Amino acid sequence: MRGLRPNLFSRLVALPLAPVLIPQARFARRAIPRLPDAALPWRGSLEGDRPLRLLVLGDSTAAGVGADSQDDALPGSLARQIDERLGRGTQWRSIGANGATSRHILERFIGEATGESYDLVFLTIGANDALALRSRIAFARDVRRIVDRLRESSPDSLILVSLLPRFDRFTSLANPLRWNLALHAASLDDAARNAVRGMNRVFAIPKPPPYTATFWASDLFHPSASGYRDWAEFAFDSVPLGLLAPLA
């Protein structure tokens, strides 16, 4: 398939498999338990010197699905990494929704997300764009627009962009659905990374390492509290020290 764009390739593969993929996707939606969002409140703090203002924005993982509270999900896990690595406290907030695509973020949440200024923004987006088979052009455009809006409202912030999960490692999904989602997700991931590459103080988190045995919540689709801790630790391990230095 030399010369064929990755997004087009993933869609061409999906078409002849549609009679299998569509029933598998419907079955997966029914079979995978729908876990609730993390309990309110979605604002909190970790006491410490010179607290950083942290925003987590995105999909079900911003909503804390798989954890009992946001303190156990990304906001609390990131705050503890900030304390350990930078010696600073955190005032955090989370905004997002289960099932949100990048387009939903622009239409429903970007106004709220840009109503305040932050020192650190963690954008987690892409899984639902892959599930919806959105085009790489549309996804990359929306991610760039989200980041541009965040930059306008928080000119000096560090923006960390966490993109597509590794669908090929989701044992909750059967093949060929799992294989095709992984193929399309890789295409979207590549496009979004290109869209934010070179932007000032914007860093796309590398693709995740193999998921541990305790990474998954009971639905085997979202992170558990342990998974969110692993994710936050991996994210901070990945950020170049030069980007973290102004936060120290």
Lowest-confidence pick of 172-181, 192-201, 220-229: 172-181
Encode pLDDT of 19-28 as tens digits. 444 555 554 5
Output the CA torsion 78→223→71→96 (10° steps): 80
- Whole-model pTM: value is 0.90
Judged by average pLDDT, the poorest of 22-36, 52-66, 162-176 is: 22-36
Q: How many domains does the chain have?
A: 1
Across the strands, what pairs with 122?
56, 160
The pLDDT of residue 6 is above 90: no
Is 14 contained in some domain? yes
pLDDT exceeds cutoff 50 at 4: no
205, part of any domain: yes
Answer whether residue 76 is part of any domain. Answer: yes
Cα–Cα distances in Å, from 93 out to 26, 54, 55, 229?
33, 6, 5, 17
d(CA 58, CA 56) in angstroms, rounded, equals 7
CATH, residue 68: 3.40.50.1110
Instruction: Please report whether residue 1 resides in a domain.
Output: no
Q: Does residue 96 belong to any structural domain of this protein?
A: yes
Question: Across the strands, what pairs with 219?
Answer: none
Q: What gap in Å lies between CA 20 and CA 10, rounded to an integer?
A: 15
Would 35 be classed as within a structural domain? yes
Q: Is residue 203 part of a domain?
A: yes
Give pLDDT tens digits for 144-170: 999 999 999 999 999 999 999 999 999
For 225, the domain range is: 6-247
Structure tokens at 90: 């955190």
Q: Evaluate whether residue 183 is within a structural domain.
A: yes
